Structures are given as structure tokens and as C-alpha cells.
């Protein structure tokens, strides 16, 4: 393997550090990853929507892209597996290279392994190593033993992120709609759901939203699984130690001890193979991904093939053994007593005692203060109030109020306005106007109706003059209540000149 050309620092990491490495690797090569992703997945997504539309089954437009995720995951994995060797391919090269990979394991991922929560870790092992049969199963046991929980947690976390993104996009679209366009009740919404066109449109929209969420999260999912795979192989095969020895060999060659190194290489055939392999890798670049991750087990290296077969047949392969030993604890050596040590110890004990006494005193003061506060609070609550309390005046925008309306609404509003109680005057005008509007519309005024509700009710009035006057009164009250902007005396006179401030015969 070309460890010298790898672009990441090879060292054993924790699972959390490996996940961070995957995110960092994706950020460094975001453009080639997402360009190849959209070049491959977007036509496939549109094709799925076309199939769903032709079959008259809109739900297939959502189900088929989800089912084809193992096929989509091949794209970011190929880009990242080349990017770690500083050879990030273009999207055209990525699409052409898909024919070189075996589709047998991808078909397995589309069938009986479709709901596998360890897909992010299984995918690089199956596509990059190319091991088949019993060796693949043994290899998977070794790779996945300490990472099954981490891989499953990664799957569920990414699913949660996708759900959050999809729901957020839907809520954002609903939030952008104006209040006037929203249905007045859930009954209208239920009636809209009975229309087939409305349901189909919602399915198309939801399919597009889920595709956007998948395009954001799925490359992150593949990159994190690929980083876990690299970290596990580093732990198993000691890539960091191998790389350190290769760098040491290069320094020794540069120092002029090449003759001794050649003698050692001649005695050890495996080192000769490593040196020849390194020279070959320096002369020729990586052409396919399998050259970087797949170990040579063909007839060209029969010795390595036999050794690998023996290792796989060994019953101890893939097993772990934990050995515990009791080691006596070393007794601490006693230092000789220093002169005047008793005086220093006495001073230290006296200081600690004083600090302890101060802390206990502070605690006693806090407890006494809490007791005094509790007693005073109980006395204040239990003692009856001597002076009657006046009820606070609450200005509410609701159309329903406990106090009855005056007979002459215009005169009452004018009286409060002239007395400089402008807010109370406009509140009374708004309350009386919406109540008389409810009588004109032959409806009961809702308790929780807001200004926006009364604006919608005003637009349903048949009389244009009354409709415009009621809208003007509601707008005037909104500006006064929420923006502290009051009208002029002339504008108040116009509002009080006719209905609803004055009773007008229908």
C-alpha cells in the first residue's frame, strides 16, 4: 500500500476523532464529492420521479431514492478513497470508474443488507478490499467488533439529522406564507386533502425535500464511515509504525548506508518485496482504488497468498484475549522529618480550623437570613390588607369584555380622548366596533379573535363603506397598541362620524 502518499496523519484515534477526521476530509474535498454526487444522483432522482408519475404511484418518488442509497454511496466513497492519496478525481472520472467496481456487494446492499445499520463501515471494506467468501466474513468480524455500536449510532444520528433538515425546510416554507392565505380552520385543510391533486403535489414536494436532506447528510455519513475504516486498519495493521520504518529507511539510504540495507533486504524476502513495491509505487501513480487498499493475494505473490490463507484458517484469527495480572503496589518511601516540622503542622492545622469555623459561621448566617425571610413572608401574606386594592385596568384587544358598552359609543370615546386618555379611548372604540361588526355579520364574537381575524371578517362585509371604516379602526388600534403611534384629532373625528361608533339604522 502507498502509505507514503497518503494525505492524512496515520495514528490510532478514538472513534470520535475518526468521525471528526471524516468530516475534515469531506470539507477538504467538498467540491469533487458533491459535484460527482449531483451528477449521478440528480438524473437518477428525476428518473425515479418519472417512473412514479408514469405508474400513477407518487409514493414511489420517495421510496425509490431511499432504496437506491447503497448505489449513491459508491460516488462519495470513490472520491474520498482517491482523495486520501491526493488524487481527487473529477466527476466524469468518478462516473466512468463505477464500471470497475464489482456490483455484487451493491446488489446485496439493495436486498438483504438494505436495512443494515453498519453500511457506512461495511461499504469501504467490500468495495475497496474486494475480499470474497469466508475471508470477507472473517475480515468483517475483525473490523467491526469494536465499531458496531459506533457505526449504528452514526446511522441513527444521520437519520435524525435528515429528518430535522426535511422538517425544517417544510416549516420554513409554511412560515413564509402570509397569515391571510392560511385556512381559517382545520376543516378546510381536511377538505383539501380529499383532492387527489393536492395529495400528489404534497408527495412531490416532500420527495424533493427529502432528496435535498439526503444530499446534505449522505456524503457526511459515507465520509465518517470511511474514516472509521481507515482508523481501524491503522490499529490492526500498524500503518503508523510501518510508515515510520519506511521513513527511517529513506533517511538511512540518504545517509550512505545503502550497502548494509541491501544485505539485510537480500536476507529477508518480505522486505525485498516492500522495497520493490515502494519503488514501483514511486514510479507509477495509483490507477485504480483496489491497488491502494486490496492486498496482493494472486499468483504474482504466492508466498504472501499462502501466508494470508494460513492466517485466515487459524482459529485464533479475529479473537481477542484479555490477560489480567496482580502487581503489588509499591509502598511510598518515607521522607525524613524536617526540623521544625511540628511547628509547620500545627500552623497548618490551626489555619484549617479557622477556615472551617468561618465557613460554618457563614452557613449559619445564610440559614438565619432564610428563616427571617420566610417568617416575614408568611406574616405579610397572612395579614389582611387595610386599604382596598383597586383593580388594575387591563387593555385587551379582544372583542369580548366584561364591561358593557355605553349607549353612545362616539361620545364616550370623545370624552376619553379629550381627557388625554388616548389609549383607553381607542381601546373602547375598537371593542365597540368589533362587537357591532359581529352583530352586523350575524355571528358571535370569538373570545380569542385577534386583529388579523377581524380584518378577515371585515373583508367579508357586503357594504364597502362599513368594510373600509372597520378596517381603518382596526389598523388605527394596531398602530396605537403595538407601535405607540396615535392618530390626529381630525382622523379620530372621521372614525367617530358614522358607523360603527354611531348607531345607524340598517
Do the domain assignments include residue 505?
no
Among 442, 429, 399, 398, smallest CA distance to 492 is for 429
**In a shared domain, residues 261 and 216:** no
- pTM of the predicted structure, to 2 decimals: 0.54
Give 314-342 pLDDT, tens digit per residue. Answer: 666 556 667 778 877 765 555 554 555 55
Of 298, 313, 328, which residue is a domain's last? 313
pLDDT of residue 165: 94
Residue-level pLDDT at 400: 43
Residues 225, 298: one domain? no
- Residues 6 or more apart whose CB falls under 8 angstroms from that of 131 comprise 125, 139, 294
- Inform me whether the pLDDT recorded for 263 exceeds 70: no
120 in a domain, yes or no?
yes
Cα–Cα distance for residue pair 281/3, rounded to 1 Å? 10
Same domain, 290 and 438: no
Indicate if 115 and 155 belong to the same structural domain.
Answer: yes
- Given CA atoms 227, 233, 238, 243 in this order, what sign does their dihedral have? negative
Mean pLDDT of 34-38: 94
More confidently predicted of 448 and 61:
61
Give the DSSP letter of residue 61. Answer: H
Of 238, 269, 288, which residue is a domain's last? 238
Same domain, 203 and 297: no
Overall average pLDDT of the 43-50 stretch? 93
For 369-416, the pLDDT digits (tens) are 888 888 887 877 766 544 444 444 444 444 444 567 787 888 888 888
285 compared with 347, residue with greater pLDDT: 347
pLDDT for the residue numbered 37: 94
Nearest one of 250, 163, 166 to 208, comparing CA atoms: 166
* Confidence band, pLDDT 50/70/90 cuts, at residue 350: confident
Residue 245, pLDDT above cutoff 80: no
Distance CA 42, CA 323 (A): 54
102 and 245 co-located in one domain: no
Domain tally for the chain? 3
3-state secondary structure of 252: helix
Give yes or no for residue 173 having a pLDDT over 70.
yes
Query: Which tens digit of pLDDT belongs to each residue from 195-209?
Result: 677 677 788 888 899
State which of 185, 218, 238 marks the end of a domain: 238
User: Does residue 283 carry a pLDDT above 90?
Assistant: no
Over residues 72-90, the mean pLDDT reads 89
Q: Which domain holds residue 461?
A: 409-496
- Residue listed under C-alpha cell 383532492: 195
Q: What's the mean pLDDT when you consider all of the chain?
A: 77
Same domain for 155 and 130? yes
What is the per-residue pLDDT for 388? 45
C-alpha grid cell, residue 60 = 414511489
Q: What percent of the chain has pLDDT over 90?
A: 17
Amino acid at each position: 500500500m502507498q502509505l507514503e502518499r497518503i494525505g492524512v496523519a496515520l495514528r490510532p484515534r478514538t472513534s470520535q476523532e475518526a468521525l471528526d477526521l471524516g468530516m475534515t476530509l469531506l470539507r477538504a474535498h467538498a467540491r469533487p464529492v458533491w459535484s460527482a454526487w449531483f451528477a449521478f444522483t440528480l438524473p437518477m432522482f428525476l428518473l425515479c420521479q418519472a417512473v412514479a408519475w408514469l405508474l400513477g404511484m407518487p409514493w414511489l418518488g420517495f421510496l425509490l431514492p431511499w432504496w437506491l442509497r447503497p448505489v449513491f454511496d459508491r460516488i462519495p466513497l470513490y472520491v474520498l478513497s482517491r482523495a486520501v492519496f491526493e488524487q481527487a478525481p473529477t466527476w466524469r472520472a468518478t462516473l466512468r470508474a463505477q464500471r470497475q467496481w464489482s456490483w455484487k456487494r451493491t446488489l446485496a446492499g439493495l436486498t438483504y443488507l438494505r436495512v443494515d445499520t453498519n453500511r457506512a463501515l461495511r461499504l469501504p471494506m467490500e468495495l475497496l478490499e474486494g475480499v470474497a467468501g469466508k475471508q470477507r466474513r472473517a475480515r468483517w468480524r475483525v473490523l467491526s467488533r469494536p465499531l458496531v455500536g459506533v457505526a449504528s449510532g452514526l446511522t441513527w444520528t444521520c437519520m435524525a439529522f435528515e429528518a430535522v433538515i426535511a422538517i425544517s425546510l417544510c416549516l420554513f416554507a409554511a412560515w413564509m406564507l402570509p397569515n391571510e392565505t392560511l385556512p381559517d380552520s382545520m376543516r378546510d385543510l381536511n377538505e383539501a386533502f380529499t383532492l387527489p391533486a393536492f395529495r400528489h403535489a404534497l408527495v412531490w414536494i416532500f420527495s424533493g425535500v427529502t432528496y435535498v436532506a439526503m444530499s446534505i447528510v449522505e456524503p457526511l455519513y459515507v465520509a465518517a464511515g470511511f474514516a472509521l475504516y481507515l482508523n481501524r486498519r491503522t490499529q490492526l495493521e500498524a500503518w503508523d509504525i510501518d510508515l515510520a520504518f519506511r521513513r527511517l529507511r529513506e533517511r538511512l539510504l540518504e545517509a550512505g548506508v545503502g550497502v548494509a540495507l541491501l544485505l539485510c533486504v537480500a536476507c529477508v524476502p518480505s522486505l525485498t518485496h516492500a522495497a520493490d513495491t515502494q519503488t514501483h509505487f514511486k514510479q507509477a501513480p495509483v490507477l485504480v482504488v483496489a491497488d491502494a487498499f486490496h492486498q496482493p493475494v494472486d499468483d504474482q505473490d504466492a508466498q504472501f497468498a499462502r501466508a494470508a490463507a494460513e492466517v485466515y484458517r487459524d482459529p485464533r484469527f479475529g479473537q481477542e484475549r484479555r490477560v489480567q495480572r496482580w502487581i503489588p503496589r509499591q509502598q511510598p518511601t518515607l521522607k525524613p522529618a524536617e526540623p521544625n516540622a511540628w511547628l509547620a503542622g500545627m500552623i497548618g492545622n490551626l489555619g484549617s480550623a479557622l477556615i472551617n469555623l468561618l465557613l460554618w459561621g457563614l452557613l449559619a448566617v445564610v440559614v438565619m437570613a432564610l428563616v427571617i425571610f420566610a417568617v416575614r413572608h408568611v406574616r405579610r401574606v397572612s395579614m389582611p390588607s387595610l386599604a382596598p386594592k383597586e383593580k388594575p385596568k387591563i387593555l385587551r384587544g379582544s372583542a369580548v369584555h366584561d364591561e358593557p358598552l355605553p349607549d353612545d359609543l362616539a361620545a364616550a370615546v370623545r370624552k376619553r380622548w379629550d381627557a388625554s386618555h388616548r389609549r383607553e379611548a381607542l381601546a373602547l372604540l375598537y371593542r365597540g366596533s368589533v362587537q357591532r361588526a359581529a352583530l352586523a355579520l350575524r355571528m358571535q364574537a370569538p373570545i380569542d379573535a385577534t386583529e388579523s381575524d377581524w380584518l378577515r371578517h371585515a373583508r367579508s362585509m357586503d357594504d364597502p363603506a362599513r368594510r373600509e371604516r372597520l378596517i381603518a379602526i382596526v389598523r388605527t388600534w394596531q398602530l396605537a397598541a403595538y407601535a405607540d403611534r396615535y392618530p390626529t384629532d381630525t382622523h379620530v373625528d372621521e372614525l367617530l362620524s358614522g358607523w360603527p361608533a354611531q348607531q345607524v339604522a340598517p
